[in-house]
Chains A and B, each alone.
Chain A
Amino acid sequence: MGRHVHTAGLAVAAADPVRPSRPGWWRQALALTGKDIRAELRTRVAMSAVGVFTFAALMLLAIATEQLRDAQAVRQTVVYGLLDRQSVAVTGADLRPAWDAVGKMGLLWVLLSFAAFSGLSHSFVHEEETGTVTALRLSAPAGAIYAGKLLFNLLLLFAIAAVVTPVYMLITGMPAGTPGVLALLMLGGCGGLAATATIVAALAARAGSGGALYGALGLPLLVVFLLLLLNAASGLYTVDASVVRIIRDVGGLFSYDVLIVAVSALTFQYVWEE
């Protein structure tokens, strides 16, 4: 009967069992990601948590930007008025917050980081809280579980970044810089953030301490991640930045990604098994 379940499972007598061969870990990971996506589309728990936070943050940012515009417009009118004895029409480009491009990029990733940490923990915490973790442990090895959860969190973060980043750029006027480098930066950033949030969520969920441990473990990793990201962003906005510098800066970010995924994959089985 190979890999098929016996039709009359309970009634069949004396059948010599043919053990189904376990699928590769990546197939198991894909099955887990698919299950998480299906469950998320039904419950929308993670999307709601992330959505409420990002909507609130973007609204606050839009209001603050508007106030900054007004204050800047008044200041410029007064300055130009004193000089030229007439009001000056202020162009849109002048009306953005006074931070430089790297500062705006930093704020974007602070926003994405908090959004990620509020939503991405759900996938592990939910398994632990609802008791489904035992069924998962019985059915798949730790490596497949980690890969499946990481992939789900990565996809969720990509979706969040794809929505939030254009809106954020519209509100703050953050420049795109070189589009290819920006895309690499977003890719590396999402990868690092998803990997960090995934392993920290796993540690916190298994320790049963929830939010407290989540914050305590997440903060040091987040600081390193943001420093590397801002370093890479400075290259993005430097006029005539050499290719070598861009590779070095973005490479630093991707090195973090590789390191955190490798360390997480190695430590996860100790976290996962009691």
Chain B
Amino acid sequence: MDTRVELELREVSHRFGLRAVFENVCGTACGAQTLVVAGANGSGKSTLLRIAAGLLAPSSGRALFRWNGQELDAVARREHLGYVAPDLMLYRELSAAENLLFFASLRGISPSREELISMLAEVGLKGRGRDLVGAYSSGMRQRLKYAFALLARPPVLILDEPTANLDDAGVEIVRRIIDDQRVKGGITLIATNEARETAWGDTCIRLGSQ
């Protein structure tokens, strides 16, 4: 993976009604970099990540996503990113394997049975692919979100509270995913208020500290 992808936050501000969540946030990340967004609860970390992912339009400023020098709009960039967040849920009435197959088909990927098993094993869900997601624990659901995010080997990973609900083994898997992303030259954007996760980043944007 060459340094073909670049993420830039250019004077991004967002308001919910009259309340300004954050103002004029700037930051850049390009190949093999990990950018951490830190701040207290309610400082707007998740909102900033949604803006970066193209899921939310900022009140002002721009979140730019360049792929091979070409700027991608909010919808087009989604093809190139994996997203894990507390507000992202998978279908409880489907099994883990059915969820992955469904989202893979939407993305134009057709993983074989072996690939699916391998994918689940990588996030620590070996042998649980046929279980309904509704029967999963919160930690298992978090692991499945990583399998969902990595479906298309995206060059950009956006992780909101990356280790929420995970045990030590789960945290180790996340750390490995971030390391692997770095080795492949991809970008990782993390929102956290945990000191341990802040240390995973190359650069850090602190919200609520202006």
Contact = CB atoms under 8 A, between A and B. Distances in A.
A and B: interacting chains: yes
A85 interface: no
A127 to B, nearest CB: 9
Interface stretch (A15-23, A168-176, A192-200, A208-216): A15-23
Given A13-B184, A35-B94, A38-B98, A3 B108 contact: yes
A122 B151 CA distance: 28
Nearest to B99: A135
B83 A134 contact: yes
Contacts of B1: 14-17
A135 B79 contact: no
B119 interface: yes
B162 interface: no
A208 to B, nearest CB: 14
Contacts of B80: 19
Interface residues of A, number: 44
A141 interface: yes
B168 interface: no
A273 B114 CA distance: 35
A21 B177 CA distance: 24
Contacts of A11: 122, 180
Contacts of B78: 137-139
Interface string A118-138: 000000000000111011111
A4 B111 contact: yes
B91 A39 contact: yes
B83 A35 contact: no
What is the interface of chain A mostly: helix, strand, loop, or mixed?
Answer: loop
A164 to B, nearest CB: 26
A43 B150 contact: no
B118 interface: yes
Contacts, number: 128
B153 A16 contact: no
Interface in B63-80: 74-75, 78-80
A135 B87 CA distance: 9
Residues of B contacting A: mostly: loop
B26 interface: no
Contacts of A139: 78, 103, 106-107
Contact of B74 (A5, A22, A31, A273): A273
A274 interface: yes
Nearest to B76: A141
Interface in A26-75: 27-28, 31-32, 35, 38-39, 42-43
B71 to A, nearest CB: 16
Contacts of B94: 35, 38-39, 42
A10 interface: yes
B93 A5 contact: no
Given A14-B184, A38-B98, A138 B83 contact: yes
A148 to B, nearest CB: 9
B209 interface: no
B129 to A, nearest CB: 14
A23 B180 contact: no
Contacts of A38: 94, 98
A140 interface: yes
A31 B153 contact: no
Interface string B146-180: 00101111010000000000000000000011001
Nearest to B53: A138
Contacts of A16: 1-2
B153 A15 contact: yes
Nearest to A133: B89
A35 B92 CA distance: 12
A138 B90 CA distance: 12
B103 A130 contact: no
Contact of B155 (A8, A9, A17, A31): A17
Contacts of B85: 134
5 contacts: A3-B108, A14-B185, A39-B91, A138-B83, A140-B106
Interface of A: 3-17, 19-23, 27-28, 31-32, 35, 38-39, 42-43, 130-132, 134-142, 144, 273-274
Given A3-B108, A15-B184, A132-B91, 8 more contacts: A4-B110, A5-B151, A6-B153, A16-B1, A27-B105, A39-B93, A132-B89, A136-B106
